[in-house]
Amino acid sequence: MSKIGLMVCGNSGIDYIKHGYDIPVIRSILFVGGKEYTDFVDISAEEFYQMLENDPSLTPSTSQAATGVMVEQYEEMKAKGYDELLVVSISQKLSGTYENAMLATKLVEDFKVTVFNSNTVAYPQAKMILDAAKMVEEGKTVEEIIAHMEFIRDNHAIWFAVDTLRYLVKNGRLSGASGFVGSLLKLKPLLTVTKDGRVESIEKIRTTSKATERVIEKFLEETKDLDVEPFIIHAHAPERVEYVRDQVLRARPQLKEIKDYPLTPVVGAHAGPKLVALGYILKK
C-alpha cells in the first residue's frame, strides 16, 4: 500500500487548528511597514490585525512561496519515506500558489505529487486536508481522498463583510471591481467566495452592521433544511464574532456550536481587519 504524504498552504489557516498529523505548511510571505514576515512563523493573526488597527495607513502585500522552496518541501517528504504526495492549494483565482506548486512537481524526480486546487480559502481548505489525513489513516487511496475533497469544494459556501474594501481593491482580489472603485469603497457589500474560487460582491450594502446582518440572513436562507457544519472566520473582530454566533444559534439551536478560526495574515492582507465570515460545509 502506498504511503501518502500530505501538504497544504498556510492560506488554509491550519496553523490555528490543533491536530496531530504530519502536514507541512507551504508559507507565503507578508510585506508590511517596510518589513518582510513569513506567515505565522514571524507574525500571528492577532499581531497583524492589531498592527493594521494601530496604523490604518499601512497597505500590506504578499508573495506566494517560491517554487524552489516548494521543491525543497517535496524533497523532504520524499526523504521521509512517503511514496506520493497530495498538496491542497488555495484557489487558483486568489493566488499564484497553485501554479508554483504545479511547477514544483516537474522539478522533483521519481516522486508523484498531486496538487489539488481547492477553489476556496481558510477553513474549508483546512477541512479538506484534515479529512484527508484521517482518510490516509483509514487506508484510503489518493483518488478516494480527492473525491471527498471535491465534495467539500462543491458543497460549501462563505459569505462575509469587511470593514473597508480598500485592501481587496488595492490587491486586486475583488472580481468585477474595475470601473466603479470610487463608489464601491464607500460601501460595505455582501461578499462571497464563488464556486470557481473568486471573491465577488453580490449585494451592495451601506453600513457594516447591515452587511453583518445580511451575512447571517444569507447563511440562514441557504442552509434551511440542510445538515451542515457551520464555521466563522474572522480578522480580529471578537465582538462581531460573538454577535454572529449568538444570532445564528438563536435561529438554529440544533447546530449546538459554531467554531471560529482566525484569518491568517497573508489572506487578511487582502481583506483588512474586522472581517467576519460565516459559512458552512454540507455534511455527507
Q: What is the pLDDT along the chain (284 residues), one digit of tens a residue?
A: 789 999 999 999 999 999 999 999 999 999 999 999 999 999 999 999 999 999 988 989 999 999 999 999 999 999 999 999 999 999 999 999 999 999 999 999 999 999 999 999 999 999 999 999 999 999 999 999 999 999 999 999 999 988 777 777 775 555 544 434 444 556 778 889 999 999 988 888 888 889 999 999 999 999 999 999 999 999 988 999 999 999 999 999 999 999 999 999 999 998 888 899 999 999 98
Same-domain check for residues 190 and 271: yes
Same-domain check for residues 250 and 148: no
Q: What's residue 56's pLDDT?
A: 87
Q: How far, in Å, CA of 48 to CA of 270, rounded?
A: 12
In a domain, 139, yes or no: yes
DSSP 95-149: -SHHHHHHHHHTTSTT-EEEEEE-S--SHHHHHHHHHHHHHHHTT--HHHHHHHH
- Owning domain of residue 144: 4-28+64-154
Q: How far is CA 212 from the centre of its chain?
A: 19
Last residue of a domain, one of 128, 154, 180: 154
**Which residue, chain included where needed, has cell 447563511?**
219
Same-domain check for residues 12 and 144: yes
Q: How many residues does the chain have?
A: 284
Last residue of a domain, one of 154, 180, 199: 154
Q: What's residue 185's pLDDT?
A: 58
Last residue of a domain, one of 98, 122, 154: 154
Q: How far is CA 227 from the centre of its chain?
A: 22
Same-domain check for residues 134 and 166: no
- Phi and psi at 238, nearest 5°, equal -55, -40
In a domain, 47, yes or no: no
Same-domain check for residues 146 and 176: no
Check which CATH number belongs to the domain holding 133 and give it.
Answer: 3.40.50.10170
DSSP three-state, residue 31:
strand
Same-domain check for residues 138 and 184: no
Tell me the sheet residues that pair with 29: 38, 63
Same-domain check for residues 254 and 278: yes
Same-domain check for residues 262 and 175: yes
pLDDT, tens only, 55-104: 988 989 999 999 999 999 999 999 999 999 999 999 999 999 999 999 99
